[in-house]
Amino acid sequence: MNFKKEIARRRTFGIISHPDAGKTTLTEKLLLFGGAIQEAGAVKNNKIKKTATSDFMEIERQRGISVATSVLAFIYKDKKINILDTPGHKDFAEDTFRTLTAVDSVIVVIDVAKGVEEQTEKLVEVCRMRKIPMIVFINKMDREGKDAFDLLDEVEQKLGLSVTPLSFPIGMGYDFKGIYNIYEKNINLFSGNSKKNIEETIAFDDLSNPELEKIIGNKAAETLRENLELITGVYPPFNKQEYLDGAQQPVFFGSALNNFGVRELLDCFIEIAPTPRDKMAEERLVKADEKQMTGFVFKIHANMDPKHRDRLAFVKIVSGTFERNKPYLHVRHNKNLKFSSPNAFFAEKKEIVDISFPGDIVGLHDTGHFKIGDTLTEGEVLHYKGIPSFSPEHFRYINNADPMKAKQLYKGIDQLMDEGVAQLFTLELNGRKVIGTVGALQYEVIQYRLEHEYGAKCTYENFPVYKACWVEPKDPKSVEFQEFKRVKQKFLAIDKRGQLVFLADSQFSLQMTQQKYPNVTLHFTSEFS
Ligand code: G4P
């Protein structure tokens, strides 16, 4: 087995979108192309439906499904493609942010009628900051929507991207005739039949050829020529290096539901998308083709069965090969661990594998050793960066409702926090525990899981916080910092990593604090060095 060849054939990516833009449908169509599933509908349940907000069993059931669909792998034209699932529901945004640390590129799906939506903005911002290569897919072209040029403008302005269309629609909605593939220089005619896997593609590199009129009609031919002229004038040509550097984002148009424009997207994707990228650790840059195995945990999933409290830790392999039964150093615990049944993921199932390569995700059974962000190596002390916590949006005190079960409660809270379900802050003043979450839904999930998995009961109490900020003093010994700690004691807490956090109760108090203590920096994420 050729190690370098294995790396070169891997593409590990995530699809991000606002809920309902078509992420699930697109995922499914990609899997169909890979021959990984036989029929549409197989990954349909891969999302937390809006109606599920207070239906615990539904949440549990969907958690189960999401284990199976956390990583979907398939082979297409000899490329091993790993799609990492990112929950679209905003209450699980933190989970999505963490998954983005494990992808090498992303595809952003946008609904042609709705344009850029809130969730897309947030997720793209994270990708932009990390310079993750992005391809944009404008979906639902079979429906009436925004003008393609207006939409490209919106993507540039709202998402701060630098786009260049690699395909362009011919008409839209009722009038949708197909797309011109700028990348491949051909026309794809839309039949509106989702069952047809291969659409009619006509090679067409000279658009002045009068054949165009015959194929799509006079009016559409004229408009297409004008549009393409405009594109050449306004947008820079596609530049692969800029795309890989996160400086340019190619755009495709299509309709996932109709399986239209998906093959073009996939064919271009496997050609241009990055192979497993090198990754920065605190100590040094680790190259994907280094022989020694390194990897990090980006997701932990609890077992659905309360009788077996083992969990599945998802490890992204950054370098080297991960082998079954070989000892690896768990850096945080300074302990060697062996894994007899590492799981690899395929379209609908997981299987024990003997060897995995950079870019792959392995699922390791865990009885409580792992935390999100943990690094595994062959002995080197490395810490992968880039799994920061963001300020939660909701904060509540958590109280023990059954004094006999205090131990279970704290163990449960501890493990749920390791999984990244929410963030725990311990107040400096009185040691009370505050749970911070991205969405209100998590409180119900925590309460339910504490009761069903740990036999503990809790209640919540409101704790008004505007934002959690991670504190970094210029000089920890300075009088200014000592005064900050004394005056703000009521608002200070320690997070799970032992970092000092300032819980500002209003935007005003945050601003006042920033002004009053200019040498104490307040960060909005936990990772700032
Ligand atoms: P998500 O994962 O991003 O949340 O979106 P999902 O794929 O579930 O798609 C949301 C809705 O949009 C679905 O309809 C889906 O069928 C539809 N859709 C996806 N792609 C296209 C497209 O290209 N054209 C059109 N017209 N519709 C599209 P739904 O009614 O909410 O769900 P379902 O009943 O079809 O499952």
Q: Which residues contact 379 (CB under 8 A, 6 or more apart)?
A: 292, 329
The rounded Å distance from CA 103 to ligand 1 centre is 24
**Protein residue with its CA nearest to atom 31 in ligand 1:** 20
pLDDT digits (tens, 9 = 90+) for 467-504: 999 999 999 999 999 999 999 999 999 998 899 999 99
The rounded Å distance from CA 190 to ligand 1 centre is 18
Q: Which residues contact 91 (CB under 8 A, 6 or more apart)?
A: 48, 437, 438, 439, 440, 441, 442
Q: Specify the pLDDT at position 352.
A: 87
**Protein residue with its CA nearest to atom 30 in ligand 1:** 20
Quick check: helix, strand or coil at residue 106?
strand
Q: Specify the pLDDT at position 69.
A: 60
Q: Specify the pLDDT at position 385.
A: 77
Quick check: helix, strand or coil at residue 90?
helix
The rounded Å distance from CA 35 to ligand 1 centre is 21
Q: Which residues contact 233 (CB under 8 A, 6 or more apart)?
A: none
The rounded Å distance from CA 24 to ligand 1 centre is 8
* pLDDT band per the 50, 70, 90 thresholds, residue 52: very low
Whose CA is closest to 382, among 292, 499, 291, 312? 292
Q: Which ranges in the chain are annotated with CATH 3.40.50.300?
A: 3-173+236-272, 279-377
DSSP H or E run through 515: helix 507-516
Residue 63 scores a pLDDT above 60: no
**Protein residue with its CA nearest to atom 32 in ligand 1:** 20
**Which residue type is seen at 452?**
H
Using the atom order of ligand 1, give the atom closest to the CA of residue 19. 4
Residue 162 scores a pLDDT above 60: yes
For ligand 1, say whether the CB of 23 is within 6 Å of any of its atoms: yes
For ligand 1, say whether the CB of 19 is within 6 Å of any of its atoms: yes
Using the atom order of ligand 1, give the atom closest to the CA of residue 256. 23
Using an 8 Å Cβ cutoff, are 167 and 136 in contact?
no
Quick check: helix, strand or coil at residue 343?
strand
The rounded Å distance from CA 26 to ligand 1 centre is 9
Quick check: helix, strand or coil at residue 57?
helix
β-partners of residue 249 are 163
β-partners of residue 335 are 330
Q: Specify the pLDDT at position 515.
A: 95
Using an 8 Å Cβ cutoff, are 23 and 16 in contact?
yes
Report helix angle 148-159 to 118-129, nearest 10.
60
Can you point out the beta strands (E) in 320-393?
A: 322-323, 328-330, 335-337, 343-345, 350-352, 355-356, 361-366, 375-377
For ligand 1, say whether the CB of 140 is within 6 Å of any of its atoms: yes
394-523 CATH fold: Alpha-Beta Plaits (3.30.70)
For ligand 1, say whether the CB of 523 is within 6 Å of any of its atoms: no
Q: Which of 23, 25, 140 to mutate to test ligand 1, by most ligand atoms within 8 A of the CB atom?
A: 25
Residue 207 scores a pLDDT above 60: yes
279-377 CATH fold: Rossmann fold (3.40.50)
Using the atom order of ligand 1, give the atom closest to the CA of residue 143. 26
The rounded Å distance from CA 89 to ligand 1 centre is 15
Q: Which residues contact 222 (CB under 8 A, 6 or more apart)?
A: none
Q: Specify the pLDDT at position 58.
A: 60
CA angle 288/10/356 to nearest 5° reads: 70
For ligand 1, say whether the CB of 22 is within 6 Å of any of its atoms: yes
The rounded Å distance from CA 140 to ligand 1 centre is 8
Residue 210 scores a pLDDT above 90: no
Distance, in Å, from the CA atom of 350 to the CA atom of 352, rounded to the nearest integer, reads 7
Using the atom order of ligand 1, give the atom closest to the CA of residue 255. 23
For ligand 1, say whether the CB of 136 is within 6 Å of any of its atoms: no
Residue 233 scores a pLDDT above 80: yes
Higher pLDDT pick, 398 / 388: 398
pLDDT digits (tens, 9 = 90+) for 310-348: 788 999 999 999 999 999 999 999 999 999 989 887 766
Q: Which residues of 304-318 are buried (b: 16+ CB within 10 A; e: fewer)?
A: eeeeeeebbbbbbbb
The rounded Å distance from CA 28 to ligand 1 centre is 11
pLDDT digits (tens, 9 = 90+) for 514-524: 999 999 999 98
Pairing of strands 10-17, 79-84: parallel
For ligand 1, say whether the CB of 25 is within 6 Å of any of its atoms: yes
For ligand 1, say whether the CB of 142 is within 6 Å of any of its atoms: yes
Using the atom order of ligand 1, give the atom closest to the CA of residue 27. 7
**The domain made up of 3-173+236-272 is a member of CATH 3.40.50.300:** yes
Q: How far out from the chain centre does Cα 219 lie?
A: 42
Distance, in Å, from the CA atom of 406 to the CA atom of 523, rounded to the nearest integer, reads 33
Task: Give mean pLDDT, residues 202-216.
Answer: 81
Using an 8 Å Cβ cutoff, are 183 and 268 in contact?
yes
Q: Which ranges in the chain are annotated with CATH 3.30.70.3280?
A: 394-523
- Mean pLDDT, all residues of the chain: 87
Q: Would you say the C-alpha torsion 282, 284, 285, 289 has a positive or negative sign? A: negative
Q: Specify the pLDDT at position 214.
A: 84
* pLDDT band per the 50, 70, 90 thresholds, residue 47: very low
Residue 438 scores a pLDDT above 70: yes
The rounded Å distance from CA 21 to ligand 1 centre is 7
